[in-house]
A and B are shown apart, each in its own frame.
Chain A
Amino acid sequence: MDHNLRVARLLAVHGLELARHLRRLVRDDDVAQDLLQDTLLRAHRALTRLGSGANERAWLYRIATNAALNHLRKQGRERRALEHHAREAELAVSPDTGGDGQDVAGRQRLMLWRRVAELPQRQRVALTLRVADELEYEEIAARMGCTVEAARANVYQATKKLRLEVT
């Protein structure tokens, strides 16, 4: 089978499921499509190397999840840099307000958001799949390419860290 046909086959069989997964993680259709293409090309190379015995679906999910995480991490870094610049610019304009204008709940939300962004990536994606997608641990494990116990542990560690941060 030629290269094009193999990629088309992966897309035919797994495309919808992966696209839904990526779209839920990154919440942007254009980015999801870019990541899907990226995932297929990478998976195609990996699977050509591994041969037909490999668990294709698990591979694809793992590669897609990592691609989405890389994207989100990069985006998070950019957002934090922007926020930093914005705060500096604000201080430069009115140095005497120094953050007192912000309400407590808003500041806490921002802190929480930052903590989520800084969680180790497997904890973060497990938490996203559990809380945002409301998935069962079996399904989280399948998508992350790990055991059910590991999925449960990742979610547990993530919530534990966040709870410490909030209280």
Chain B
Amino acid sequence: MSEHVTTERRAVERIVLGAFRQLTGRESGVLRYAIMDDTPVGILGLSAGAAGLNHVDFVKDEDAFVERLLAEFGDRPVMRSTALDRARRELERYFKGRDLAFDLEVDLSALSAFDRKVLEVTARIPAGKVATYAQVAAKAGNPRASRAAGNALHKNPVAIIVPCHRVLRSDGSLGGYGGGLPVKEWLLRHEGAIATSLL
């Protein structure tokens, strides 16, 4: 990217932030977002603050996602941005099957310590492999907390990046998924964790 473009982007962002401050009183820590509206699993909304990616959500449309962000981050300005290009590129590579692993800064600070631990354990399950809720709970330090582990996975703010879709019930059935079970099936098949013929 040329220096001119970067300078322009900074100047333009300053203008928008100034307007945010004047019109809404929101000013601390800008939140940038992007929409991927043509993925095999539907529309994805991505957002990030200074500490990293804090949302990869399955969304109905851009408006719904922005409303969610504005409600959740009440004191912060929210703006569409090209700054999330790297996350978008990694997701595109994932969907094309070129690289199923992610190397992105993720911000889980809004979660409780146990929930965060569950997601950290989950993040280490490689593509093509699956684990059970009980296994994840045990690795997170509480073997009897498989229901709590399920709840923590349900709160995963960064779907796909933290692969909560790789966690199944002990009987091998799919369990639940925020993006819907067909999406969970698609992701697992895409990663080669379940054979197409079984579905």
**Smallest CB separation, B34 vs chain A (Å):** 11
Asked if B80 and A9 make an inter-chain contact with CB atoms under 8 angstroms apart, the answer reads no
Indicate whether B8 reaches chain A with its CB closer than 8 angstroms. Answer: yes
**A19-B12, A29-B15, A33-B18 known; A12+B25 contact, CB < 8 A:** no
Q: Which residue on B lies nearest to A14, using beta carbons?
A: B80
Report how many residues on chain A are interfacial, defined by Cβ distance under 8 Å. Answer: 23
A125 to B128: give the CA distance in the assembly, Å: 56
Asked if B19 and A29 make an inter-chain contact with CB atoms under 8 angstroms apart, the answer reads no
Which of B51-59, B65-73, B154-162, B184-192 makes up part of the contact surface? B65-73
Asked if A4 and B24 make an inter-chain contact with CB atoms under 8 angstroms apart, the answer reads yes
Asked if A11 and B16 make an inter-chain contact with CB atoms under 8 angstroms apart, the answer reads yes
**Smallest CB separation, A104 vs chain B (Å):** 34
Point out residues on B near A: beta carbons under 8 Å. 8, 11-16, 18-20, 22-26, 33, 62-63, 66-67, 69-71, 77-81
Point out residues on A near B: beta carbons under 8 Å. 1, 4-5, 7-9, 11-13, 15-17, 19-20, 22-23, 29, 32-33, 36-37, 40-41
Q: Which residue on B lies nearest to A18, using beta carbons?
A: B16
Asked if B77 and A8 make an inter-chain contact with CB atoms under 8 angstroms apart, the answer reads yes
**Smallest CB separation, B155 vs chain A (Å):** 24
What does DSSP make chain A's interface, helix, strand, loop or mixed? helix
Given contacts A23-B8, A40-B23, 12 further A-B contacts (CB under 8 A): A11-B16, A11-B79, A12-B33, A12-B66, A12-B79, A16-B79, A16-B81, A19-B12, A19-B16, A37-B19, A37-B23, A40-B19
Asked if B24 and A11 make an inter-chain contact with CB atoms under 8 angstroms apart, the answer reads yes
Chain B residues with CB under 8 Å of A29's CB are 11, 14-15
Chain A residues with CB under 8 Å of B13's CB are 16, 19
A37 to B20: give the CA distance in the assembly, Å: 9
The listed residue with most B CB atoms (<10 A of its CB), out of A5, A11, A16, A22, is: A11
Chain B residues with CB under 8 Å of A37's CB are 19, 22-23
**Smallest CB separation, A27 vs chain B (Å):** 11
A-B contact pairs, 16 of them (CB 8 A): A1-B67, A4-B23, A5-B71, A8-B77, A9-B66, A12-B69, A13-B62, A13-B80, A15-B19, A15-B20, A16-B81, A19-B12, A20-B8, A23-B8, A37-B22, A37-B23
Point out the residue from A1, A7, A23 that lies within 8 Å of B24, measured CB to CB: A7
**A5-B70, A8-B70, A9-B70 known; A16+B16 contact, CB < 8 A:** yes
A37 to B23: give the CA distance in the assembly, Å: 7
Asked if B15 and A33 make an inter-chain contact with CB atoms under 8 angstroms apart, the answer reads yes
**Smallest CB separation, B4 vs chain A (Å):** 13
Chain A residues with CB under 8 Å of B80's CB are 12-13, 15-17
Chain A residues with CB under 8 Å of B69's CB are 12
Chain B residues with CB under 8 Å of A8's CB are 20, 23-24, 26, 70, 77-78
A122 to B23: give the CA distance in the assembly, Å: 29
Point out the residue from B8, B23, B81 that lies within 8 Å of A7, measured CB to CB: B23
Point out the residue from A4, A12, A23, A40 that lies within 8 Å of B11, measured CB to CB: A23
